[in-house]
Amino acid sequence: MHFLQDDTQLVSILYRTHKLLPSAAKVSSLYVFDALSRAARQSANKHGLIGDLNSTTGNAATFLLKVEGVLDGLFRDLVSSSNGGLKVSLWLLVVLT
């Protein structure tokens, strides 16, 4: 997962894209964050990586730390959405995870 060397830019692009999406697409965006985070967690565990926010080069562990930093914003954005079906999907995602 060499693309995680640029983890800050990746998380920033994902987050900005999520914020610009219409309400109907926001749950799908959350699934993208979830899939990338699960893959990063697996890689970090497999390779014994440790996250260091002061590191100049990103890796799977630092990617996870940076995703953690935007989670609150993601969920606040989803909750504030006017789409009732989105709120139900979000609730189910939180309960089932």
Whether the Cβ atoms of residue 94 and residue 27 lie closer than 8 Å to each other: no
Give the orientation angle of helix 7-20 with respect to helix 26-47, to 10 degrees. Answer: 160
Tens of pLDDT, residue by residue, the chain (97 residues): 677 889 999 999 999 999 999 988 888 888 899 999 999 999 999 999 988 888 888 999 999 999 999 988 988 887 787 655 555 555 555 544 4
Give the orientation angle of helix 60-80 with respect to helix 7-20, to 10 degrees. Answer: 10
Q: How far apart are CA 9 and CA 58, in angstroms?
A: 10
Q: What is the pLDDT of residue 96?
A: 46
Neighbouring C-beta atoms of residue 13, cutoff 10 Å: 11
Whether the Cβ atoms of residue 44 and residue 59 lie closer than 8 Å to each other: yes
22-59 as b/e: b if 16+ CB within 10 A: ebeebbebbeebeebbeebeebbeeeebebeeeeeebb
Q: What is the pLDDT of residue 92?
A: 54
